[in-house]
Amino acid sequence: MVKKYILTPGPTPISEEVLIEHGRSLMHHRSPEFGEIFSEVSEKLKKLYKTKNDVFVLTSSGSGGMETAITNSFCKGDKVLVASMGNFGERFKKISQTFGLDVIALDYEWGDIVDPQDIKKHLEADSSIKGVMVQFSETSTGALNDVEAIGDIVKDFPAILIVDAISGLVASDLETDKWNLDIVIGGSQKGLSAPTGTAFISISDKAWKMIKKSDIPRFYFDLNAAKKSLEKNQTPWTPGISIIVAMNKAMDLLFEEGVDNAFKRHEALAKASWAGAEALGLEMLVSDPGKRGYSTTAIKVPEGIDGGELTKVMRLKYGVTIAGGQGKLKGKIIRIGHIGYVEMFDLITAFAALEMALNDLGYDFEPGAGITAVQKTLMKNNYLDKAIS
């Protein structure tokens, strides 16, 4: 018997309560019954995003949300500044280029974060820049950008700020309105811990002004159609009904925990995870702890061990699925996701399996050092303390 555990940066584990809602028969997407649920989901997303802006639900992956942001906001030939420090920054570039935008690439090492001052310099030097794109949490490295500081800069320029918060939302505090984030993209299968298949996107007034002028053709992802439908608590096309129903329940659970408590939980899990890796003599991809987010721990695979083999042994022999590296980091790192419906014992399980797989592959370390460090750090920084007291 091998029990299955999933600790990836998405899909994330789904609670029984959410699975049960997800598994129910579908109501019709044009029925008032669904309209009520969709209205609730829209309001809860606004609360989660900390925004007064509309948050639109798309039936697509997060990449569909990224495409939506780009094709709705710009005109062909528009100059955009794309900050990239990983695989999803590269994706922003690729989508922008696909749709004929003039991309200024602001590249950083994979594992580093964006220096907000670099963005300021670019915007000051070129007032024709129409948009700035940046990840909140870069899923491929686990690094977290200071989008508050970036928002504080971009707000004074004509450009809009587009933030991919797909894996960062819920893991760390994000304040859409207070931080002047014009477009924020999220996904159902990350911090929400709902099934895959739905993305969401918030749009500020500043962004709407650009959307009205945009000339890039789009149909399925057209936000004008989405806005018109949202007024009737609908989506323009048939949505992933069961996923939206699941999201509704998932957000109930999140608000029951308290979003701030969820941030503390993710912080505690992330710090325990870093301590576990360190105790095993493993090197972190994001060397500066101040640059790390709380959704994903990216760990360099020790010399002589293949990352693909390591995740394979963990999955097949021990039933624990974690993620490998993406793009140029393929085989070189492993990524432990600790977002969503994940708590302390899941993390200890992940590290226990990691230790056992490392041992199988001949890595030299003190068995138990990782799980002990994880546990000790959790005891020191117990996110349950407040709940119990």
60 binds its own copies (CB under 8 A): yes
CA 78 to chain centre: 27
29 binds its own copies (CB under 8 A): yes
31 binds its own copies (CB under 8 A): yes
* CB-CB contact of 329 with 141 (8 Å): yes
In one letter, which amino acid is 111? G
Whole-angstrom distance, CA of residue 62 vs CA of residue 259: 22
325 binds its own copies (CB under 8 A): no
Cβ proximity to its own copies: between 232 and 386 the closer is 232
Q: Which H helix or E strand runs over 58?
A: strand 54-58
Residue recorded with tokens 């140029």: 328
CA 387 to chain centre: 26
Of the candidates 368, 295, 387, 369, the one whose C-alpha atom is nearest the C-alpha of residue 86 is 295
307 binds its own copies (CB under 8 A): no
Token couple for 34: 């669904």
Q: To the nearest 10°, the Cα dihedral for 82, 87, 91, 92?
A: -20
155 binds its own copies (CB under 8 A): no
Cβ proximity to its own copies: between 150 and 314 the closer is 314
Regarding beta strands 137-138 and 183-187, do their DSSP bridges make them parallel or antiparallel, or are they unpaired? unpaired
Using the contact rule CB under 8 A, the part of the chain among 239-247, 274-282, 328-336, 363-371 near its own copies is 239-247
106 binds its own copies (CB under 8 A): no
* CB-CB contact of 37 with 246 (8 Å): no
Cβ proximity to its own copies: between 190 and 264 the closer is 190
The binding track of 330-349 with respect to its own copies, each residue x by CB under 8 A or -, is --------------------
228 binds its own copies (CB under 8 A): no
Using the contact rule CB under 8 A, the part of the chain among 77-85, 93-101, 207-215, 262-270 near its own copies is 93-101
Using the contact rule CB under 8 A, the part of the chain among 28-36, 140-148, 169-177, 262-270 near its own copies is 28-36
Q: Is 276 helix (H, G, I), strand (E, B) or coil?
A: helix
253 binds its own copies (CB under 8 A): no
Whole-angstrom distance, CA of residue 55 vs CA of residue 292: 27
189 binds its own copies (CB under 8 A): yes
Applying CB under 8 A, which residues contact its own copies?
4, 6, 8, 10-11, 13-14, 19-20, 22-31, 59-64, 67, 94-95, 98-100, 187, 189, 195-198, 216-221, 237-243, 315, 321, 323
